[in-house]
């Protein structure tokens, strides 16, 4: 039987719930009783923070467009040398 | 004396009559610079803009050993384009990449080198790994960065493929690896590329990442609208239960 991501998550969820129920019998602490809610909130905060960080630190390479334009010119010259003729387009360049 | 390998480059095309000659010229230059044996297989889906005529001219120039045209009658999807192209591939390795110059052929030598270091099954180009300083995108507006980051985050959380650029489609595979995986793929669109790499990870194939600079199409821009978003999420959920 193949074990899918769903199975892994289900296992984790069941373990978490069992541990939580056991913890609840040991302590009436507000934090323990509402642990699942806090876990979800923490995950939400982490996710937003992670995405925010990645977006604001998104790797960019601003000179890549220029470099590509140069490489395109070089390719065009190479093609011309080899006898390539671009098909006629309707509008004039 | 090192083993001599041959690399097949699969190029699915649709309306790329302007870019095809450029990308072919650059691919040839990249392989010649490392004196590697290669072939380029163009799988064109019945482009109305003359892509196939352009390709035939290029075959006269570069030779039919180096450039092959294996067209199909109409747009039939990327997965089947790969399967179709693979039938004609005589290399031990297969490159997949886009023909619109967003994937620069200059990375071919680096990907080949990387593959050799530990005989990796897959080498994938990444546009935004935080561990690799040389990669990046050019000219992306904020909205696109946000959508891309969020999509990758959701996909990584659900599928955990341990790869930084899930939708990237600039990759080098051992031929038997790609042949094995592409038969099993069920998704379409953006999720298709994700599924390939997620399956590769799941089957235990070794994967390495190479940083690439990604320049968007110089002619035209593709967008990610609501129906694509729902399609993407639905595809992800399907994989969550499948993989």
Using an 8 Å CB-CB cutoff, list chain A residues near B47: none
Residues B151-171 pLDDT 10s: 999 999 999 988 988 888 999
Q: C-alpha B76: how far from its chain's center?
A: 17
Instruction: Write the DSSP symbol of residue B43.
Output: E
Is the pLDDT at B67 greater than 90? The verdict is: yes
Q: What is the ipTM of this complex?
A: 0.86
pLDDT in tens, A19-72: 999 998 988 888 888 999 999 999 999 999 999 999 999 998 888 889 999 999
Burial (0-12, 13-18, 19+ Cβ within 10 Å), B205: middle
Is residue B1 scored above 50 in pLDDT? no
Contact B149 A4 (CB under 8 A): no
pTM over cut 0.80: yes
Question: Where along chain B do its domains lie?
Answer: 6-242
CA distance B230 to B170: 25
Residue with tokens 């019945």: B46
What is the three-class DSSP state of B170?
Answer: coil
Q: Are B213 and A64 a contacting pair at CB < 8 A? A: yes
Length of chain A measured in residues? 93
| Best residue in B26, B52, B148, B154 for a mutation probing chain A (most A CBs within 10 Å) | B26
What's the Cα-to-Cα distance from B231 to each of B98, B113, B191, B196, B224, rounded to whole Å?
A: 22, 37, 9, 17, 11
Q: Which residues of B touch A4 (CB under 8 A)?
A: 240-243
Which listed CATH number (3.40.50.720, 2.60.40.2310, 3.90.550.10, 2.40.30.110) goes with B6-242? 3.90.550.10
Nearest-angstrom CA–CA distance, B169 and B96: 7
What are the Cα distances from residue A71, in Å, to A34, A65, B16, B228? 60, 10, 17, 33
Secondary structure (H, E, C), chain A = CCCCHHHHHHHHHHHHHHHHHHHHHHCCCHHHHCHHHHHHHHHHHHHHHHHHHHHHCCCECCCHHHHHHHHHHHHHHHHHHCCCCCCCCCCCC
The β-bridge relationship of strands B122-126 and B67-69 is unpaired
Least confident of A61-75, B36-50, B100-114, B127-141: B127-141
- For residues A81 and A79, what is the distance between their CA atoms, to the nearest angstrom? 5
Chain A positions contacting chain B at CB under 8 Å are 4-6, 47, 50-51, 54-55, 57-65, 67-69, 71-72, 75-76, 78-79, 82-87
Q: Do B242 and A54 touch (CB under 8 A)?
A: no
Query: Residue B124 and residue B84: Cα distance in Å, rounded?
Result: 21
- SS3 of B8, please? strand
């Amino acid at each position: 039987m193949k074990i899918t991501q769903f199975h892994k998550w289900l296992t984790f969820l069941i373990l978490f719930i069992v541990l939580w129920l056991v913890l609840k019998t040991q302590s009436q602490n507000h934090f323990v009783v509402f642990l699942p809610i806090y876990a979800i909130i923490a995950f939400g905060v982490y996710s937003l923070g992670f995405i925010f960080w990645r977006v604001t630190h998104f790797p960019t390479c601003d000179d890549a467009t220029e470099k590509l334009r140069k490489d395109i010119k070089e390719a065009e010259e190479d093609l011309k040398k080899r006898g390539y003729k671009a098909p006629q387009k309707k509008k004039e360049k | 004396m090192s083993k001599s390998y041959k690399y097949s480059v699969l190029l699915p095309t649709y309306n790329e009559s302007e870019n095809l000659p450029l990308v072919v010229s650059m691919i040839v230059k990249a392989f010649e610079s490392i004196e590697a044996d290669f072939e380029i297989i163009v799988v064109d889906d019945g482009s109305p803009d003359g892509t196939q005529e352009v390709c035939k001219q290029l075959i006269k120039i570069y030779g039919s050993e180096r450039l092959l045209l294996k067209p199909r009658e109409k747009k039939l999807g990327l997965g089947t384009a790969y399967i179709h192209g693979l039938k004609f591939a005589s290399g031990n390795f297969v490159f997949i990449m886009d023909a619109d110059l967003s994937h620069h052929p200059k990375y071919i030598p680096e990907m080949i080198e990387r593959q050799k270091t530990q005989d990796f099954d897959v080498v994938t180009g990444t546009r935004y790994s935080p561990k690799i300083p040389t990669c990046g995108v050019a000219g992306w507006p904020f909205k696109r960065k946000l959508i891309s980051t969020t999509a990758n985050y959701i996909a990584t959380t659900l599928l955990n493929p341990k790869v930084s650029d899930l939708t990237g489609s600039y990759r080098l595979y051992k031929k038997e690896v790609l042949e094995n995986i592409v038969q099993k793929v069920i998704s379409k669109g953006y999720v298709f590329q994700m599924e390939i790499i997620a399956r590769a990870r799941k089957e235990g194939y070794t994967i390495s990442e190479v940083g690439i600079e990604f320049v968007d199409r110089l002619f035209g821009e593709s967008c990610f609208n609501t129906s694509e978003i729902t399609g993407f999420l639905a595809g992800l959920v399907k994989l969550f239960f499948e993989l």
